[in-house]
Amino acid sequence: MLKILYFASLRETLGCASESIDLPPAVNNVAGLLDLLAARGEHWLKLATVKNLRCAVNQELASLDAPIKGGDEVAFFPPVTGG
């Protein structure tokens, strides 16, 4: 199982803060996970098209080509702005 966390506006758009999924064998990096989630359609397409989307694997910032496997935790969050 792979645990996925969604933060800030992503959580609001998707209507959930987290989920656990069985990771298909063909999905072995963050980009593949995004493609898998986007295939759900509707609001999930937005997840794959957020400009400057940030992600973390096991609580460490990661790039889209970062490897993932069952048992990992992947978090997605939009870029943070502030003042």
Alpha helices in the chain (DSSP H): 8-14, 30-38, 43-49
> What is the rounded distance in angstroms from the CA atom of residue 78 to the CA atom of residue 63?
14
* 82 domain-assigned: no
Q: What pLDDT digit, counting tens, does each position of 33-75 carry?
A: 999 999 999 899 988 888 889 999 999 999 999 999 999 999 9
Q: Residue 54's domain is classified under what CATH number?
A: 3.10.20.30
Domain that includes residue 36, residue range: 2-77
Place of tokens 């790039």: 63
What pTM did the predictor assign? 0.92
Domain count along the chain = 1
CB 35 within 8 A of CB 16: no
